[in-house]
Amino acid sequence: MATERQAELLLGEGRHPDADRIERELLAQGKSPARALSRLRHSNAWLW
């Protein structure tokens, strides 16, 4: 079941439902904030 935040990310912002967690992980790996955000925008890459 999706949380309210996950629905907000997916439907409201067009981002991956787990974008908050994934963004933190990418930043911890040393990725730039712009790179982390670009990886999490809605795309078919993470749907399939």
d(CA 9, CA 29): 22
pLDDT value, residue 43: 54
pLDDT at residue 40, as a whole number: 74
In this predicted structure, what is the pLDDT of residue 42? 54
Question: Tens place of pLDDT for every residue, the chain, 48 residues?
Answer: 889 999 998 888 888 888 899 899 989 999 998 888 877 775 545 554
Between the CA atoms of 30, 22, 37 and 12, what dihedral angle is there, to the nearest 10 degrees? Answer: -160
Note the pLDDT of residue 44.
Answer: 47
pLDDT value for 48: 40
